[in-house]
Structures are given as C-alpha cells and as structure tokens.
Amino acid sequence: MKKDVPVRPEIRALRPYSLVPETPVPVKAKLDFNESPYDVPDEIKRRVASRLLARRWALYPEFGAGRLRRAIATSAGRSPEEILVGNGSGEVVLAALSVFAGGGGTVLLTPPTFSLYPQLAAIAGARIAEVPLVGDDFALDEEALLAAVRANPRAIPLVCSPNNPTGGTARREFLRRLADAAPVVLVDQAYVDFAPGEASALPLVSECGNVVVFRTLSKAFSAAGFRIGYAVAPPDLAHEIGKAILPFNVDLASEELAVALLEDPAPARARVAEIVAERERVIERLRAFGAKVAPAAGNFFFVAPPGGGAEAVRTALLRRGVLVRDLGGSAPGRLRVSVGRREENDLFLAEFSRAVKEAT
Ligand code: PMP
C-alpha cells in the first residue's frame, strides 16, 4: 500500500529548478548560461592535474579548508576568518539563508532576480517578500526596499549585484543605508569581476559588520565545471553560517584548481577585460539597431527586441544554433544573452537582426 509520505508543502509546491536542455545541432554560440566563453588555460589545467596526482585521494580534503580560504582571502584582500567556502556559491547562499531567515523568517528579494533564490528560500523554510525592480533599466527601488525593511525589521534583504538576469548594480551608498536598517544584508556578487571597481561590496563587510558578500570562481575564472564559491562575512557571522555547511564540502580537485587560479589571476583578468569590451561593443550595436538594453555590469545583457516578439526571436536564434535565455513570466519581452567570444557575438548580432526582421 502506498504510504502518504510527508513532503513539506513548500517543497511540494516548487517547480524543480530547470535549465531547458534544448540542443539544436550544431550549437554555434552557447550564450544561455552566463558561462565564460574562454576555458581555463591548458598550462593551469596541467599544473592542477599534476598537483592532484601527487595527493592522496583516499584522504578527505583539509578540514576547515584553511589553504583554500587563505588563497581566497589573499586574492580578495580580506582575512581568512572572514571566508567560508562552498560547493559553488549557491551552497553558501543557502547556508546563510538557513541561518538568518530559515524556519519561518523572511527573505526580501528584488525580482526579476536569480531564479534559484525562491528554491533556496523554500529549502531553508523562509518566506519571501518582494520589492520589484523598476523601469526599463530594472533599477533597484531603493526607497521601497528601505521602506519594506522598516515595515518588517526582521526581513533579510538578498540583493544580487550585478543582478542576474537584468545586469544592474546596487550603489554602495545604498547598501550602507540598507545595512543600517536591516539586521543583516546578503549581497550576491557572482558577476562583480565584470563590473566597475566601485560595485564591490567588500568594504562594507568590515565597515557595517552585518553585510555578507557571495562570490564564485564560476564566471570570471572560467571554473564552472568545478564547484567553487565563497562568502566574505564578518568573523562572528562567518562562524554562525559555517555551522550550516557540511564538512569537506569542497573537494580536492576544486581546491587545487581554485588555488592555482588565484595564484595566477592575470589570464582571468585579461579574459574579463575582453568580455567587458565585447559587452560594450555588442550593446552599442543593439541600441543602434533600436533594441532596449538595460545597463549591464555582468558578463551578460538583458535585451528587448525592437518591436517585441522576444519568444519568437529566441526560437529563431535557437534554430540557427544561437542559445540565449528567455526568462518567461518573470520578465516578459526580454532575453538574457551571455557575452561570448567576438565571433559568437557577431553571429548573435547577425541572427538577432535577421530574427527581429522576420518576427515583425
Ligand atoms: N549567484 C548568481 C546570481 C548566479 O547567477 C549564479 C550562477 N548562475 C550563482 C550565484 C551560482 O554560481 P556557482 O554555484 O556556480 O558558484
């Protein structure tokens, strides 16, 4: 007899996080996952492989991940006590949500934002309140967000800056005010390496004492195939968040890759500069073509085809091997497009204008 298995209602209600695996043949430009178009250089791959061969795979990674945390701390100009590492940054965001808002607390989101957040909130058992972004530029509604925090002083804002999928950033001065008003502020900066330096929220970690910043090596460092993310938090908060993370969560291979990437960051910086230059070039072309493009500070941009028909344009691009993202209900009329290599971007531009002409 089938038992009535007690699945929590908020989990039952979730649609599983899905990344539609449509693969036309052949894929000519994969611009749908905000991955880096540049792989980790062969020389670094070889260095990591030889270091891995020299290690004993039968042993757990270092307890507490001290070496990895020191490498991250050095590269971020922070101290190791402020660093928590994760199997991707999503894991550390989940831990922080569990600790600060789990079991019936409230997390404050600014949709359209990273589609994984509602799932993380549900897993943590946190409720969601929303203060939507405003206008064609999808700007943070700063005063509304502050008002929402004042109305619910226990709500925990989770701000994504640069925001996936819209691309905009939160001003540091605003985050400072938010940190003044809220018990703790979570800032997801997965894409901050592609943004101007003043977008970094790291100075607020020590200045405010209640700001936690999340970062990843998946984007600027081209390491999405391994899972390496981290949080920078005041040491007392890092201590508490750390209790919600399982031991040995970052494996040997990810640890070795992270250390190698961080000790030689020049190649990654050069690739970031190329991606940023390409982002600006493509956006200028799109605007000249009549498309609306929101201000973009990540390795992607959020575009409305002139004349509408975003879904038709996406399907037409897909048929020609150019993969981009349609955020569907959360931002109708817009497509999120990752910045690729120059030739991929040129192909996107050509196929985009062809698809727009066909759709209108
Ligand atoms: N935050 C944001 C805003 C993201 O877009 C992503 C990846 N899509 C992540 C966090 C997670 O990155 P990872 O788990 O690869 O570190």
- How many domains does one find in the chain? 2
Average pLDDT over residues 152-162: 96
CA distances (Å), origin 92, targets 16, 164, 240, 321: 20, 17, 12, 34
Average pLDDT over residues 315-329: 91
Q: What pLDDT, on a 0 to 100 scale, did the predictor assign at position 353?
A: 96
282 and 177 assigned to the same domain: no
18 and 154 assigned to the same domain: no
Nearest residue to 315 via CA among 300, 304, 307, 325:
325
244 and 291 assigned to the same domain: no
31's tokens: 């611009």
Residues in contact with 229: Cβ distance below 8 Å, sequence separation at least 6, in sequence order:
85, 86, 87, 88, 89, 90, 91, 92, 190, 214, 215, 216, 217, 218
In the beta sheet, which residues pair with residue 128?
107
313's tokens: 């344009």
Average pLDDT over residues 135-152: 97
CB atoms within 10 A of CB 272: 20
255 and 280 assigned to the same domain: no
CB atoms within 10 A of CB 130: 12
Q: What pLDDT, on a 0 to 100 scale, did the predictor assign at position 22?
A: 61
Pairing of the two strands 29-30 and 211-216: unpaired
> Residues 244-253: pLDDT tens digits?
999 999 999 9
CA 163 to ligand 1: nearest atom = 3
> Residues 254-294: pLDDT tens digits?
999 999 999 999 999 999 999 999 999 999 999 999 999 99
76 and 212 assigned to the same domain: yes
Q: What pLDDT, on a 0 to 100 scale, did the predictor assign at position 329?
A: 77
> Residues 45-93: pLDDT tens digits?
999 999 999 999 999 999 999 999 999 999 999 999 999 999 999 999 9
Assess contact for 188 and 212: CB atoms under 8 A: no
Pairing of the two strands 300-304 and 335-338: antiparallel
With a 6 Å cutoff on the Cβ, whether 293 touches ligand 1 is no
Last residue of a domain, one of 263, 291, 324: 263
Last residue of a domain, one of 263, 291, 309: 263
303's tokens: 């575009």
272 and 258 assigned to the same domain: no
Please indicate, yes or no, if residue 204 is contained in any of the structural domains. yes
Distance 216 CA to ligand 1 centre (A): 7
185 and 255 assigned to the same domain: yes
CA 90 to ligand 1: nearest atom = 14
Question: DSSP label at 182?
Answer: S
Angle between helix 142-151 and helix 172-181 axes, rounded to 10 deg: 10
Q: What is the pTM of this model?
A: 0.97
Mutate to test the pocket of ligand 1, among 34, 164, 222, 327 (most ligand atoms within 8 A of CB): 164
Mutate to test the pocket of ligand 1, among 18, 116, 191 (most ligand atoms within 8 A of CB): 116
Q: Which domain holds residue 241?
A: 54-263
Residues in contact with 227: Cβ distance below 8 Å, sequence separation at least 6, in sequence order:
86, 87, 88, 91, 218, 250, 254
Q: What pLDDT, on a 0 to 100 scale, did the predictor assign at position 359?
A: 78
pLDDT band at 2 (very low <50, low <70, confident <90, very high): confident
> Residues 194-249: pLDDT tens digits?
999 999 999 999 999 999 999 999 999 999 999 999 999 999 999 999 999 999 99
Q: What is the DSSP string of 82-125?
A: GEEEESSHHHHHHHHHHHHHTTT-EEEE-SS--TTHHHHHHHHT
d(CA 161, CA 70): 25
Please indicate, yes or no, if residue 86 is contained in any of the structural domains. yes
188 and 306 assigned to the same domain: no
**CATH code: domain of residue 80:** 3.40.640.10
Distance 356 CA to ligand 1 centre (A): 30
Please indicate, yes or no, if residue 272 is contained in any of the structural domains. yes
With a 6 Å cutoff on the Cβ, whether 250 touches ligand 1 is no
**CATH code: domain of residue 305:** 3.90.1150.10
Question: DSSP label at 15?
Answer: P
68 and 216 assigned to the same domain: yes
Residue 250: exposure state from Cβ atoms within 10 A (0-12, 13-18, ≥19): buried
Residue 128: is its pLDDT beyond 90? yes
Residue 21: is its pLDDT beyond 60? no
154 and 289 assigned to the same domain: no
69 and 212 assigned to the same domain: yes
Nearest residue to 136 via CA among 335, 283, 300, 302:
302
Residue 23: is its pLDDT beyond 80? no
